[in-house]
Amino acid sequence: MSLPGPGVPFPRESDAQAPRTPASGSATSAAPSTLTAAPAPVPGQRPAPPRPAPPGAERPGPKPRPAGIPKPGPRRPEPAAPQIAVQHLAATAAQAVERADEAVDRLLDSGRNPGAVLVLTVGEPHPWQRHELSFGEERYWAQLAEGGDVFYADAALTRPARREVVVLVVNGGTADRAAAAFAEARGRAAELLVVCGNAGPAAEAAGAPAGRPATV
């Protein structure tokens, strides 16, 4: 160890060089600062999907009834079919045509329109039917369509014919044919059926007592 020269103070222990500390703010010695990235903004919460409605909550109700259509109510009973008056004129098979002609005359005299009367025979054709057929069938059936006069035909008529008054002439044929003719004639009459002769028990039970004159 060498001694300091004259005039040089003896070094003190406190004069030992302290480690040099870099000055604050020095660009060369300052440690690079660590940059912390700012946290990304947290987006708002997404709206939750709508909760489904409980079963039956959104069930559609009954549709409104259109205006002007009444609500269904109890059905009204069908109007009863008009009752057909049935009258009987007692006569044998040989007398039936004559009694029928008398009935037609009374109907016309009372003001009944000739085109409203239909005469049907169970047995032989009426003489007036034979007379009209002598001019040909075309002319004969045209009279039925025209409806301007009394029309005479067989009780087994297959063409549509319906008139206010039907006169049934039971001038022959079997009992079964007479009964069937009565049912057919009744369906063709709109107001009155006059039966001349015996058309069977069903005809007797359907109308007035035998022998009562035909009326309007």
In terms of residue numbers, what domain contains 190? 85-206
Work out how many domains the chain is built from and give that number. 1
In a domain, 71, yes or no: no
- pLDDT at 31 (0 to 100): 47
pLDDT at 187: 95
Distance CA 150, CA 144 (A): 9
**How far is residue 9 CA from its own chain's centroid?**
135
Q: For residues 114 and 18, what is the distance between their CA atoms, to the nearest angstrom?
A: 157
Could you give the C-alpha distances from 38 to 33, 35, 41, 42, 180, in angstroms and in order? Answer: 15, 9, 9, 12, 113
Cα 216 from Cα 202, distance rounded (Å): 22
> Residue 122: inside a domain, yes or no?
yes
**pLDDT at residue 204, rounded to an integer:** 83
User: How far is the C-alpha of 127 from the C-alpha of 11, rounded, in Å?
Assistant: 181
Query: What does the mean pLDDT of the chain come to?
Result: 77
Does a structural domain hold residue 3? no
Q: How many helices (H) and strands (E) does the chain have?
A: 5, 5
201 φ, ψ (degrees, to nearest 5): -60, -40
Q: Within a domain: residue 139?
A: yes
- Counting as low any pLDDT under 70, the low residues of the chain are 1-82, 207-216
pLDDT value, residue 213: 43
189 occurs within a structural domain? yes
pLDDT of 192 = 97
Instruction: Please give the pLDDT value at position 19.
Output: 52
Q: What is the pLDDT of residue 4?
A: 53
Is 69 part of a structural domain of the chain? no
Query: Does residue 161 fall inside a structural domain?
Result: yes
Q: How many residues does the chain have?
A: 216
Residue 214: predicted pLDDT: 43
CA distances for 216 relative to 111, 187, 193, 209, angstroms? 9, 18, 10, 16
pLDDT attached to residue 79: 52
Predicted local confidence at residue 196, as pLDDT: 97
CA 129, CA 132: separation in Å to the nearest integer?
A: 5
Summarize pLDDT for 23-79 with one digit per residue, the tens: 444 444 444 444 555 555 555 555 555 656 555 555 555 566 555 555 556 666 555
Q: What are phi and psi of 192, to 5 degrees?
A: -140, 135
CATH of the domain at 171: 3.40.50.300
Reported pTM = 0.61
